[in-house]
Amino acid sequence: MGESLPATTLVIFGVSGDLSQRYLLPALAEICQDQQLTEKLQILGISRQALTTGKVLPPRAKGLAGKFDLLQLDYGSSADYAKLKARLGQHVSSQVVIYFAVPPDAVPPIIKQLGKAGLNTPKYRLLLEKPFGRDLASAQQLIDSTAECFKEKQVYRIDHYLAKEMAQNLAVFLGANAMFRDIWSAKYIEKIEILALEHIGVEGRANFYEQTGALRDIVQSHLLQLAALVLMKPCDDFSDVNVLPRRRLAALRRLRLAGEGGSATRAQYGGYGVDVGQKGSKTETFVSLTLESSDARWKNVPITLSTGKRLDQKLTEIRVYLKKVGGSRPNLLRLRLHPNEAIELDLWIKRPGYDQKLQTLPLNFVYGRHFDRLPDAYEQVIVDAIRGRANLFASSAEVLASWRILQPLLESWQRGSAKIRTYRPGSSVEEVLEKEN
């Protein structure tokens, strides 16, 4: 992975929770296999219950035992934060990164307690999971309350899609390859589609999903960030960690809902109400909406974002449809984030034989054919946060810009002006969009 990480204590609030057990601790175990990289890393797990290291570390993370310590702490007790401060004073670390693997409602009170305890000096850094609010007003309130204790440069808001290798490579792909850089505009591109599709349903996240829905869970963060990466002005200075957030923000600020009143397709898979124990629920498990950009480079290019659960496939992909120019035929460029990260361009060829028949065949680059292993998004997030590289994290301005795009749609839904379709589990996106109630 490269040079050693700086001397760091990684504090994990909610270390015994599902997020830590399934993703965070296994990712840390993978990182720590490179002993030279992590020789100066210490991990302090925070739990409200009295636990032992053996019980906390899952089987895939037992190798962390030598770097791992535990502290029982009452999240609401000022005295316990003094105890945390004393414990951190025993660590020889140049910085402390605090990871919040706790429910969203627990985050603001903990941040306030950290500030009161003086655990907010420049050596401290916050690593926050989404959601970042439920709408524009709540997102602004969350940002303002955090800013009372921590400066913006100390706050790292995680978007795991930005940390995926394909998403990271988008800037390089578009900026370093002239064949794409020079055609990356409305002159050559007809439309753009960004998909995040899942086979599974809510899978044990009923309470969270019933309060959130597809728009807040996936579109507001992940899909809008991918749209910003695709639409931003291509760059060639990839060493500047500040250039990507600036360009993503510029792209987000020029996006708006297309059509009158911000119309969108809103749907729910059959049986969802039973899954969450809420018959008659109006929470959407599928949403598809179209955006447009005020940037002259993207004039009249529709950008469609679609996501849903219990569909016919698991797929996260960006599709760029190139225009037919002159006597040419249109081509399709696919940038696939999952599964099997790849870049694929459909090219027209003449089929072998005596007849002049054409067909498309893919020209592709598949990561798995060239690299043994891609870092997990959680691994990338942790390493970049420790190194202080902010380009994979959403700034407060980006969070607010994304909520501003969706606010008219949220208000429309709150007025009850959008009916919810029902679709059969296993449907394709096309079937959901075409279905009539």
Q: What is the mean pLDDT of residues 309-325?
A: 95
pLDDT at 415: 85
Same domain, residue pair 32 and 166 = no
Give the contacts of 32 (CB within 8 A, at least 6 positions apart): 38, 41, 63, 64, 67
Q: Which helix (H) or strand (E) holds 30?
A: helix 25-31
Question: Is 90 domain-assigned?
Answer: yes
pLDDT at 437: 43
Of 87, 108, 129, which closes a domain? 129
We report the CATH number of the domain holding residue 301 as 3.30.360.10
Q: What phi and psi values does residue 163 have, to the nearest 5 degrees?
A: -85, -10
pLDDT at 207: 87
Rounded Cα distance between 427 and 316, Å, is: 16
Catalytic residues: 222
Indicate if the pLDDT at residue 286 is higher than 90: yes
pLDDT at 417: 66
| Model pTM score | 0.93
Question: Is 153 domain-assigned?
Answer: no
The C-alpha torsion from 202 through 206 and 208 to 212, rounded to 10°, is 70
Counted domains in the chain = 2
**Percent of residues, the chain, with pLDDT higher than 90:** 73
Same domain, residue pair 420 and 301 = yes
Q: What is the mean pLDDT of residues 51-73?
A: 93
Of 108, 129, 150, which closes a domain? 129
pLDDT at 261: 53
Same domain, residue pair 168 and 268 = yes
pLDDT tens column, 137-152: 999 999 999 999 999 9
Local confidence band at 328 (pLDDT 50, 70, 90 cut-offs): confident
pLDDT at 260: 66
Sign of CA dihedral 69, 161, 237, 243: negative
Rounded Cα distance between 383 and 362, Å, is: 35
Local confidence band at 326 (pLDDT 50, 70, 90 cut-offs): confident
Same domain, residue pair 125 and 176 = no
Q: Which two tokens stand for residue 57?
A: 């570390």
Q: Which two tokens stand for residue 19?
A: 């997020």
Same domain, residue pair 253 and 355 = yes
Same domain, residue pair 313 and 248 = yes
Same domain, residue pair 124 and 165 = no
pLDDT tens column, 80-100: 999 999 999 998 889 999 999
Same domain, residue pair 244 and 95 = no
Fill in the DSSP letter of residue 223.
I
Domain that holds residue 238: 161-376+390-434
Highest mean pLDDT: which range of 18-22, 88-92, 304-308, 353-357: 304-308
Q: What is the mean pLDDT of residues 402-418?
A: 89
Same domain, residue pair 355 and 421 = yes
pLDDT at 375: 83
pLDDT tens column, 348-370: 889 998 988 989 899 999 988 88
Local confidence band at 236 (pLDDT 50, 70, 90 cut-offs): confident
Local confidence band at 329 (pLDDT 50, 70, 90 cut-offs): confident
Indicate if the pLDDT at residue 235 is higher than 90: no
Same domain, residue pair 352 and 394 = yes
Q: pLDDT averaged over the chain?
A: 92
